Amino acid sequence: MPAAAEFVLAPQTMVARRFDVFDPVVVTSGHATVASTLRACPSQGRYRLLKLLSEVAVGVACAHGVTAEYI
């Protein structure tokens, strides 16, 4: 995960630091799929975890003006 996040952020930072502001260079990250493994006992802990992760995904997406689909 940290590597994936860095891959999205690093090119944008590189362009901002290494190209003239008047040089029309743009790097856009388009689509990413993230998968996780969840473990919890008892099962009610798992349901609570799923609900909270869904809330986190929506909240983070909202803070950045994008959408998140949590399946």
Q: Tokens standing for 27?
A: 């790097």
DSSP 22: T
Residue labelled with tokens 């190209």 = 19
Mean pLDDT calculated for residue range 6-10: 86
Domain boundaries defined on the chain: 3-64
Kindly report, residue by residue over 11-66, the tens digit of the pLDDT. Answer: 889 999 999 989 888 888 888 787 888 888 888 888 888 889 889 888 988 888 88
3-state SS class at 42 = coil
Q: What is the DSSP string of 56-69?
A: HHHHHHHHTT----
pTM of the model: 0.56
